[in-house]
């Protein structure tokens, strides 16, 4: 029978070095909070249950947890008495009797599902505790993994370590797994007889060893267990996440001409044969289908891009944008809450909001849909093969029929029927000699200003 697993995420750290009113675990990497990253990786590793231990800012943490996963529970740690004390704040969740318990930290967003799966495999093989470690040439500040004959016998915190133990380069990554049949008895046995007077979760290793329970250390990449404590650390983790995501995208068939300048969101979806040019930013909710090109200096959010579409350069696609196959959006175009059907073009200096644009329609430069009346948004419909002349304003609600034309410079306030020409502008009048009169008047004004 498959084993059950509880992921218990410690998220009570105050994060004072972040110098922020926002709880540390809610600071974002790739557009979502670090806590959400850890919750998602827990689910991917097969954890059916998630418990989060919060401290200061628990209301904000609870809101994030509920939004991310409605089945996850939040527990409050009212006193800061160490990691084991924090874990036991979720005693109710521990008592449900999951086969595996993974103790994670809400500020380690680079952890991978594969690593957690490896830990669970060791627990299934009979380990009472699995400790995730990493090797570093600069171990100062980390707890050391103390081994004897190749077996893990203790985790020694820096403040309590001997000189020989401080020389150990195999360090504690903080992440621990417990066999559910031993978890509570080991946690309850942890005391606080140490330099800080705290209940260290890591003491469970020595307790398990003293009871002849098997303890296993697994080595992970140091980058996976990096915890964030400062704004600089947050930026470094963001850079690592972006590097990994870009490499994964390119391995999946995406081309990036300058990968270091492209920024992805945690939920960005790029299909094979997509080309992304330099300095492109993907906000939340973007999916780009195969063969599309995203040209330089474009910003996309909440948008779906059809196969073969060309977006940009310097385009902004806002939430609710749906671009069909082989569509085109050119430079300095903004599109919001609009469906652009296959083959339609919005090439220059235009704003299309709250609109439906039909197949093969052409939107001329400088066209805007006037969708907001100060209180409500209204819809503009543009039919198939319609042609909207440059510098036109379409005042919604309004419909432009299939095959219709709108004359350049028009302000359209009424529907234009199929295959009709809509023109709404003042008639041109040429006044002979007026240019000379205007120049003479301007010269007199300039001279008067100089003389005054």
Tell me the pLDDT tens digit for each residue of 105-142. Answer: 999 999 999 999 999 999 999 999 999 999 999 999 89
Q: Which of 316, 244, 328, 231 is nearest to 282 (CA)?
A: 316
Q: What is the CA radius of gyration of the chain?
A: 31
Runs of H (alpha helix) within 49-149: 58-68, 83-88, 91-94, 113-124
256 pLDDT above the threshold of 60: yes
Tokens of 131: 């400790």
| Strand ranges for 129-273 from DSSP E | 129-135, 144-148, 151-156, 170-179, 215-219, 255-256, 269-270
- Exactly one of 27, 140, 299, 348 is catalytic; which is it? 348
Q: Is the pLDDT confidence value at 15 over 90?
A: no
Q: What does the pLDDT look like over 394-404, one tens digit per residue?
A: 999 999 999 99
152-173 average pLDDT score: 90
What's the whole-number mean pLDDT along residues 249-277?
98
Q: Looking at the DSSP assignment, which residues form a beta bridge with residue 388?
A: 363, 406
Stretch 31-36: mean pLDDT, rounded? 98
pLDDT level of residue 158 (50, 70, 90 thresholds): confident
Q: Domain 5-225 carries which CATH code? A: 3.90.550.10
Residue 405 has pLDDT above 80, yes or no: yes
Catalytic status, residue 265:
no
The Cα 171–Cα 220 span in angstroms is 10
Comparing CA positions, the residue from 363, 313, 374, 314 lying closest to residue 338 is 363
Q: Mapping DSSP to helix (H, G, I), strand (E, B) and coil, where does residue 116 land?
A: helix
Rounded mean pLDDT, 143-165: 87
The more confidently predicted of residues 297 and 1 is 297
CATH 3.90.550.10 range(s) for the chain read 5-225
Residue intervals of the chain classified under CATH 2.160.10.10 are 231-422
- The fold of the 231-422 domain, in CATH, is UDP N-Acetylglucosamine Acyltransferase; domain 1 (2.160.10)
Rounded to 5 degrees, φ, ψ at 450 are -70, -35
Residue in this structure with the two tokens 């409050």, named with its chain if needed: 76
| SS3 labels along 210-243 | HCCCCEEEEECCHHHHCCCCCHHHHHHHHHHHHH
* Per-residue pLDDT at 363 exceeds 60: yes
| pTM for this prediction | 0.90
pLDDT tens digits for 291-317?
A: 999 999 999 999 999 999 999 999 999
Question: Strand 32-33 and strand 28-29: pairing?
Answer: antiparallel
pLDDT of residue 13: 82
Query: Among 110-114, 303-307, 335-339, 425-429, which is the least confidently predicted range?
Result: 425-429
- Tell me: pLDDT of 36 over 80: yes
Asked if the peptide bond before residue 58 counts as cis, ω within 30 degrees of 0, the response is: no
CA 30 to CA 20: how far, in whole Å? Answer: 19
CA 102 – CA 180 distance, rounded (Å): 10
Confidence of residue 1 (pLDDT cuts 50, 70, 90): very low
Q: Rounded to whole angstroms, how far apart are CA atoms 209 and 385?
A: 76
Measure the CA–CA gap between 193 and 148, rounded to whole angstroms: 23
């Amino acid at each position: 029978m498959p084993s059950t697993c509880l992921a218990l995420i410690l998220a009570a750290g105050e994060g004072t070095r972040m110098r922020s009113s926002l709880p540390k675990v809610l600071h974002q990497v790739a557009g979502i909070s670090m806590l959400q990253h850890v919750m998602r990786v827990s689910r991917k590793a097969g954890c059916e249950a998630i418990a989060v231990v919060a401290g200061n800012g628990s209301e904000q943490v609870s809101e994030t947890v509920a939004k991310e996963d409605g089945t996850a529970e939040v527990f409050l740690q009212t006193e800061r008495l160490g990691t084991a004390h924090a874990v036991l704040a979720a005693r109710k969740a521990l008592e449900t009797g999951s086969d595996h318990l993974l103790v994670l930290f809400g500020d380690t967003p680079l952890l991978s599902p594969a690593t957690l799966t490896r830990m669970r495999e060791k627990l299934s093989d009979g380990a009472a505790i699995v400790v995730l470690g990493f090797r570093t040439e600069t171990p100062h500040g980390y707890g050391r993994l103390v081994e004897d004959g190749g077996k893990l016998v203790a985790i020694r915190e820096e403040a309590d370590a001997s000189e020989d133990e401080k020389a150990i380069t195999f360090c504690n990554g903080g992440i621990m797994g417990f066999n559910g049949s031993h978890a509570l008895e080991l946690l309850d046995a942890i005391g606080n007889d140490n330099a800080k007077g705290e209940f260290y979760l890591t003491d469970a290793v020595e307790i398990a060893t003293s009871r002849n329970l098997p303890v296993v250390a697994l080595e992970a990449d140091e980058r996976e267990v990096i915890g964030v404590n400062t704004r600089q650390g947050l930026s470094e983790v963001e850079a690592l996440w972006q590097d990994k995501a870009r490499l994964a995208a390119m391995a999946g068939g995406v081309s990036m001409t300058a990968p270091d300048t492209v920024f992805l969101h945690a939920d960005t979806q790029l299909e094979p044969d997509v080309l992304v040019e330099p300095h492109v930013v993907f906000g939340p909710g973007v999916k780009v289908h195969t063969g599309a090109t995203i040209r330089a200096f474009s910003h996309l959010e909440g948008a779906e891009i059809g196969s073969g579409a060309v977006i940009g350069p310097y385009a902004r696609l806002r939430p609710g944008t749906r671009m069909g196959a082989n569509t085109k959006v050119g430079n300095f175009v903004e599109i919001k809450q609009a469906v652009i059907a296959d083959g339609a073009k919005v090439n220059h200096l235009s704003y299309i909001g709250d609109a439906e644009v039909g197949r093969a329609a052409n939107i001329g430069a400088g066209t805007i849909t006037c969708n907001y009346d100060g209180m409500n948004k209204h819809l503009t419909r543009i039919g198939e093969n319609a042609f909207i002349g440059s510098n036109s304003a379409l005042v919604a609600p309004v419909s432009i029929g299939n095959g219709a034309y709108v004359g350049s410079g028009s302000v359209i306030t009424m529907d234009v029927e199929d295959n009709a020409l809509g023109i709404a502008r003042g008639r041109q009048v040429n006044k002979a000699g007026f240019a000379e009169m205007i120049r003479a008047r301007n010269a007199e004004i300039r001279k008067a200003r100089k003389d005054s």
